Amino acid sequence: MLSPAQKSFLLIALRVTLIAGVVGGIAALAGGESIGVLFVALVLLVAFSYYAWKLAQLFHWLEDPQAATLPDAGGMWGDVLGKLYRLIKQERVSQKSLSDALSRFQQAAAALPDGALMLDNQNNIVWLNPVAELHWGISLANDRMQTVTYFIRYPEFIAYLDQRNYGEPLALKVSRKDAAGQAHESSLAVQLVPFGEDQMLLLSRDVSERERLETMRRDFVANVSHELRTPITVMAGFLETVTSIGEGNPELMKKSLAHMTTQAQRMQRLVEDLLTLSRLEDNSHRPAQAPINVPELIASLAIDGGQLSAGRHRIATHIAPQWLLGNRDEIASAFSNLISNAVRYTPAGGEIDITWTMEGLEPVFRVRDNGEGIAPEHVPRLTERFYRVDRGRSQATGGTGLGLAIVKHVLIRHSARLDIRSSRDSAQHGTQFSIFFPAERACAAEPRPHAVAA
């Protein structure tokens, strides 16, 4: 059985031979044998030229199938061109689906929260996603096909790469510079994953935030345990004394009970402050916001401050009749912490000014004292939990070390900011805490019920 291609070839050969035979025969009859041979040669030459021309057209079209139009031909040429055309079309479709798949893969890899960097069998960089560019300071556009160890030079990484046992991820501290040339330290969890023929994927995840939170959690637990251990140890000591010799010594019993009460109160304050902080940090629960009668609130907090001072300070207030939109309990807690700090850290005879004013469109609460002030290096850390300049002084005056952390969280929830100015200059010492509320929180006083009735 002949194939369609062989059939087409035979048909053409037959056709050319027939035409050449007929034309050559007629020419031989008319002009003799040599004329007949000449005509046969002529027919063969025309046939050859025709097929050579078709071949040239095909060649031209194959050079750039997109630009040139498909040559028009029938018979065997038509079949050949048709087959070629279908092949090229198929090729184009598969090329497009390949490039679509590649661009989908690149989009997915670019959206990954982790860094992904592809290495060939020579440890050259084949490809990396934008997160990996950021983690390693490598640019896909400029650094492709460069050896990875040229950029990632940490000895631990080179050892990890060489050991060829990538079961466990590598914890790496890296330092990178931002656009402004500022160096930043971060912690990366790095894992090499072999794939394909001796290729590797280098995955990297920034775990700095996780580590920071873990350190914070550990410090917090250590701090709370430490804060609770002191009063508990003191109470245990007194209980032991009372149990052994207290009954026969009413005076000692009385003193011990007073000390134990002080320690119990200290623990109570600590637990209350911890609960307040955890409520403030819980962003899923936002308490209701309403207009607060701040002038009335400050007047009452100033009275509490006076009681805490017990006449040891002069407390002055300057209160504008401005109301504020917010949560009353939280604002009261922030203001009262600043007032009680001023009383507690200002020696007897000192002066404390409490003001509530409008500065431009912003409502501002300010507490200023002329105590001994705070050294500048402590100021940025004052709102950290349990940060104290003088631990003994804080505890002696009933401090928990959480007051300013509470203030900070209340302000975050009210989009307000805290400004701390302090001076230890002997001529003008003292501290000033100012809370600036955003203008949108200033609100009109609510009409009193009887005013509404009128």
> Could you tell me which residues are beta bridge partners of residue 127?
118
- In the complex, the smallest distance separating the C-beta of residue 314 from ligand ADP, rounded to whole angstroms, is 15
CB closer to ligand ADP out of 24 and 401: 401
CB closer to ligand ADP out of 201 and 367: 367
CB closer to ligand ADP out of 15 and 314: 314
- In the complex, the smallest distance separating the C-beta of residue 282 from ligand ADP, rounded to whole angstroms, is 20
CB closer to ligand ADP out of 57 and 309: 309
- In the complex, the smallest distance separating the C-beta of residue 429 from ligand ADP, rounded to whole angstroms, is 10
Instruction: Let me know: does 431 contact 371? Beta carbons within 8 Å.
Output: yes
Task: Report which DSSP code applies to 124.
Answer: B
Location of structure tokens 């028009």: 72
> Could you tell me which residues are beta bridge partners of residue 118?
127, 201
What's the burial of 8, exposed, middle or buried (CB within 10 Å: 0-12/13-18/19+)?
A: middle
Dihedral over Cα of 364, 369, 373, 378: its sign: negative
Instruction: Let me know: does 84 contact 57? Beta carbons within 8 Å.
Output: no
Amino acid type, 328: R
Sorted by sequence, the CB contacts under 8 Å of residue 13 that are 6+ apart come out as none
- In the complex, the smallest distance separating the C-beta of residue 381 from ligand ADP, rounded to whole angstroms, is 9
CB closer to ligand ADP out of 263 and 431: 431
User: Cα–Cα distance between 200 and 118 in angstroms, integer?
Assistant: 6
User: Cα–Cα distance between 336 and 306 in angstroms, integer?
Assistant: 12
User: Cα–Cα distance between 201 and 127 in angstroms, integer?
Assistant: 10
Q: Which residues bind ligand ADP (CB under 6 A)?
A: 337, 341-342, 345, 369, 371, 374, 382, 387-390, 394, 399-405, 431
- In the complex, the smallest distance separating the C-beta of residue 287 from ligand ADP, rounded to whole angstroms, is 22
CB closer to ligand ADP out of 77 and 345: 345
- In the complex, the smallest distance separating the C-beta of residue 432 from ligand ADP, rounded to whole angstroms, is 9
CB closer to ligand ADP out of 114 and 390: 390
* Per-residue b or e along 252-272, where b marks 16 or more CB atoms closer than 10 Å to that residue's CB: ebeebeebbeebeebbeebee
- In the complex, the smallest distance separating the C-beta of residue 220 from ligand ADP, rounded to whole angstroms, is 14
